[in-house]
Structure 1
Amino acid sequence: MKSLTKTDFNFPEQKEVYKGKVRDVYFIGDDHLVMIASDRISAFDHILPAGIPFKGQVLNQVATHFLKATEDILPNWLIDVPDPNVAVGYRCDPIRIEMVIRGYLTGHAWREYSAGKRVLCGVEMPDGMNENDKFPSPIITPSTKAVEGHDEDISREELLKQGYATEEIYSQLEKYTHALYQRGTEMAAERGLILVDTKYEFGMKDGKVMLMDEIHTPDSSRYFYAEGYAERQANKEQQRQLSKEFVRQWLIENDFQGLEGQKMPIIPEDFISLVTERYIELFEKITGKGFVQADTSNIEERIMKNTVESLKTNQIIR
């Protein structure tokens, strides 16, 4: 199985390229972009040295599944999905904030909590909670969206003080974040899952807030299996989950958390296969659809052909 770990396309009317941790964005003209979901995987703000076959396809198809399911809440950037790894959409001016919303005490929040902290991003967390307990109500713990390097936790007050957004815009982001999380929670419940936490990114287009990037994917979200959740909590057992957290846990067990002086471990083939299986499992579980593996014999040629056809069909290029 071939994986797509880097891209180097030159689309018609292409102006610039942004290479992210996982996605590569090609800007077409002044108003559009092509987003390619690679098979790269990141954890602790580091890209792992091995690609995960079909991960990009899973991310792209899960994200577009939810973008289409939330169009009634607010507009989003998506125009077309011409290829399993590609989405074509509008270019927005990004708001440099990641809107992280947490319904349960897990992951980064739990690591902070277990270290004795009771305030995260200016939000108080109740005493007496255990790992993976449900918060009384979901909390928003934003972070700054770094162009390079680490995203940083930040409070609402500090975001406004530093000018990341106006009070009016940030209030809209909070409203949309709660609404999107509620929709994602309902859709997950229909599939026997719990949407534990997730993050959203927004931009501005024509003076209005628009949803950008991916939503409710295993790279941006955690899911628990609903069946057995209460029993596992009562017994203080780890939850069965579909997310990237197990990759982080594997790295922690192999002495890597992205800290200075730590060396990225070699990723064995059997673990790569396991990650692929987990991503496909999430796709099928969350969407209720069977996963159809794309032809990977010549990924680059396939992407180029399908994308150029879409750009022409949607009159983005001549």
Structure 2
Amino acid sequence: MNTPLIPSASRRDFLSRSAQAAAAGLLGSAFGASSPATSETLVQQLYGSMDEAQRKALCFAWSDPRRLKVDNNWHITPQKIRDVLKPDQQDLVRQIFDKLHSDEYKSEVWRQFDQDNKGDGGFGSASIAIFGQPGTNQFEFVLTGRHCTRRCDGDSEKGAAFGGPIFYGHAAQGFNEKPTHPGNAYWYQAQRANEVFQALDGKQRETALLGESRDEDGSDTVKLSGKIKGLEGISVGDLSADQKDLVKKVLADLLKPFRQSEREESMKYIEAGGFDNLHMAFFKNQDVGKDGVWDVWQIEGPNMVWFFRGDPHVHCWAHIREPKGV
């Protein structure tokens, strides 16, 4: 005798629960009840909201040379976001930029950006570009303006912290800042670096303290040398254990304004390049106020450069990559 194919009670319950779960999943997706948004997912959302004219103005091939350019005051596209993006799209750009930074420091990052771009109309004066196809494994978003080059790439640019070289800076109280740089969002970084100098003995200071720093020259400012020897300043490998520990702590503090994933990736690449291969240099000829607190300094290794120029106000250039052969 054939039994009709009627689901048992347990099977009916299973099918019912499955249908409910699927519906809940669809509703959750529709109302945003999914994983928290990241800068990368917001870039994808921004890209999806663009019309043909906006994409033509702001979206380019992955191979475009502007993708990895960095400078202290520039616009990656001539169109400012206030002129090409709708208000809700501008808000997405704000969220993308916001989520690139740590909760601890983002208020200071915004204060700097708003102050430095106030004369040009604030955040709307920034410019953006998107390279490649968001949502794939090859895309990059870049935001530029005065004292700002920031990137978001979902690790598309393989082996590069921050998606490539970045720039940040601040002119807190005018172009020529006072020796203590009052109100500067990033001066704390120089104060921490100067703690390393103070921890050096006389001979070490002679090695670490040089005359003139490197020039600022766009992307060439942070061109990586690949060298282990012959870099400027004192080798971290020649420092004592406690001095090395202090340098590590300073590096961690330099990274504090940025999101956790970038901090972790940066430290991973720095350590892979050999912590003892880093060199630290201070430059006496650019000492604002001649107070012996060195406004200009750098940390450089074969696969990283962190160049801080505090004369006449703060400019900072950073570039960290996975060492070759790793």
* TM-score bracket for this pair, using the shorter chain length: under 0.3
Higher relative contact order by CA 8 Å / sep ≥ 6: 1 or 2?
Answer: 1
| Structure number with larger C-alpha Rg | 2
- The structure with the greater share of residues assigned to helix is 2
- The structure with the greater share of residues assigned to strand is 1
**TM-score, reference length from structure 2:** 0.22
**TM-score, reference length from structure 1:** 0.23
